[in-house]
Structure 1
Amino acid sequence: MATLPSKPIAKSRIREAEPKDIDAIRIGMIASLTSDPTWRYRYINRDKYPEDLFKYSRLYVELMVSGKFPDYLTMILEVEEDSVWKLAALSIWDASYVNSRIHKAKGESYNPPTQVMEAAGVKTRRDIYPIYDAAFIKAIGDTRKEFTELFHGDEFYLNLLGTHPDFRRRGYATQLLKWGIERSIRDNAPLVLAASAMGEPTYLASGFEELGRVPIVAEGDYEKQEFVKMVYRPRK
């Protein structure tokens, strides 16, 4: 019996996102996060108010790639299919360990993206469940403060890592993670993150260590959810 030829491995590339990528990133971000129970609880009314989900997700991505907030880097991985480059995975990084030094030296400051989102009406969006969203934001906020205290603000923070469902189990998220690890080593900055249960195995396999588990405590009938504080300590 003849063996069917294997499908050729698609070409892939990693690059920093540009404004032209906003809609592709928004689509990929929502598609990737739909598998995350915590995200589904936060945006429990997303099917009832899809216009709010699309509007504010797009605004968030737009802010990340606009260049107005230099603390943030959005890196994407694309694959070539039928001579067309398609977004397969995305990552958003907080590199304030570098930029804070620059701004302090120049005596500059700027408003964080959260203030812009609030000005655009994000607190009135109807797709979220406010109680659970507030519990999640508190848990993440407390974790970020702990990272800053532990590493004195010199940490490199992975804010989001996701793969579009059509491109999963091909190692694309791991490639983006490897990009971050290489930068962490280059700059001698600990790489930190809050991992979901879905992402934890990938991080452990990549050399991260656990610093503790943080429950998301919200009133109501929810399955217990938590995230894991993790760090990659650069070794040169």
Structure 2
Amino acid sequence: MNDFPAPVPTPGYKLRNATLDDLDEITNIHIDGFIEEPMDDYCYPLRFEQYADHFKWLSVEYQYYLENPHKYVVQVAEAQRQDEGDATADAKPVALAVWNLSVLADAPNLNRGLDQRKDAIPKRVEAYIDVAGRRYKPLGIFSEWAEKQLTLSVLTVLPKFRRRGIATQMVSRGISHAIGKGWPVTVCASPMGELLYSHLGFKRIGTETIQAGDEEESFSSAVMVLLP
């Protein structure tokens, strides 16, 4: 992802690739930014009651992304702190994006701790993993473009920093990268995310539904693509 074009600056914010030094900040952004995320509500309904457990295993997940840079790129948007008028104070990450830039590339199995964590309903997480794992396989929702696509896997902005153009800036950078390759950008979007992606030109091509076994409860995402 180092060949991404330079983003158009959003005043007061800058984008950069994350490192392992950002792991705690990234984990916090995910938890606070996805407070109303349907997938997290469905798979991890006890994430706030079992906060320490959720933080631990979510950190494992983001460490996995950071340690497999051939497949994933994690980016943060930083807001420049202004303590007592000092605009040069340390920057603080306020938004997060994870791009899957090599969707068919192998990576080690991610240990999600389903045999021991208390924040999750394991069969729901397993149902999600099963459906997500078929997205790029023959007849999968994104199989048409095979390895020549850029998938946005995660995008979230802390609530107090929304509606400032940060999410648009982060997605636009990925779009520019994909356009340079002649690739589409693909995403499975929550209802709130669908509004943003539609504004940026993505088209809805279907629906992905996650449902564990015979449960009545489920959640659905909008399957969307931005063609080059």
State the TM-score, normalizing by the size of structure 2: 0.83
Q: SS at the partner of 1:150? A: helix
- Residue type of the alignment partner of 1:140: A
CA distance in 2, matches of 1:130, 1:63: 19
After the TM superposition, which parts of structure 1 deviate over 4 Å for at least 4 consecutive aligned residues?
none
Counterpart pick for 2:135 among 131, 143, 147? 143
SS at match of 2:135: helix
Report the Cα offset of residue 41 of structure 1: 1.8
The answer to whether the Cα contact below 8 Å between 1:147 and 1:192 also exists between their aligned partners in 2 is no
Which residue matches 2:93? Answer: 87
Alignment of 1:1-236 (within 5 A): 11-66=12-67, 68-82=68-82, 83-96=89-102, 100=105, 112-113=107-108, 115-117=109-111, 121-145=113-137, 146-218=140-212, 219-222=214-217, 225-234=219-228
Any conservation in 2 of the 1:77–1:90 contact (CA below 8 Å)? yes
How many Å apart are 1:197 and its aligned residue?
A: 1.1
Equivalent-residue separation in structure 2 for 1:187 and 1:10 (angstroms)? 28
Deviation at 1:158, TM superposition (A): 0.8
The residue matched to 1:117 in structure 2 has which SS?
coil
Identical residues among aligned pairs (%): 28
Q: Take 2:70 and 2:56, find their aligned partners in 1: how far apart are those partners?
A: 23
In 1, Cα distance between the equivalents of 2:98 and 2:16?
Answer: 12
Q: Distance in 2 between matches of 1:231 and 1:148?
A: 9
1:49 Cα deviation after fit: 2.3
SS in 1 for 2:31: helix
Alignment deviations for residues 60-112 of structure 1 (CA, whole Å, 9 cap, x no partner): 1122223x441110111111021231112110011116x95xxxxxxxxx6x2
Q: Which stretch of the first structure deviates more once superposed, 124-133 or 150-159?
A: 124-133
Q: 1:47 to 1:88 in 2, by over 3 A?
A: closer
1:159 offset after TM fit, Å?
Answer: 0.7
Alignment check: 8 A CA contact 1:77 1:89 kept:
yes
Question: What amino acid does structure 2 have at the position aligned with 1:27?
Answer: N
Report the CA distance between 1:57 and its aligned residue.
Answer: 0.8
Q: Is the 8 A contact 2:61 2:110 kept in 1?
A: no
Kindly indicate which of the two structures has a greater share of residues assigned to helix. Answer: 1
> By how many angstroms is 1:28 displaced?
0.3
Deviation of 1:221 after TM superposition, in Å, equals: 4.8
Structure 1's 148 and 212: CA in aligned 2 closer, same or farther, altered over 3 A?
Answer: closer
Distance 1:123 1:180, change over 3 A: farther
State the distance in 1 between where 2:148 and 2:194 align: 23
Paired with 2:19 and 2:81, the residues of 1 have a C-alpha distance of 20
TM-score of the aligned structures, taking structure 1 as reference length = 0.81
Structure 2 residue ranges without an equivalent (≥5): 1-9, 83-88
Distance 1:227 1:116, change over 3 A: closer
Where does the alignment leave 5 or more consecutive residues of structure 1 unmatched?
Answer: 1-8, 101-109
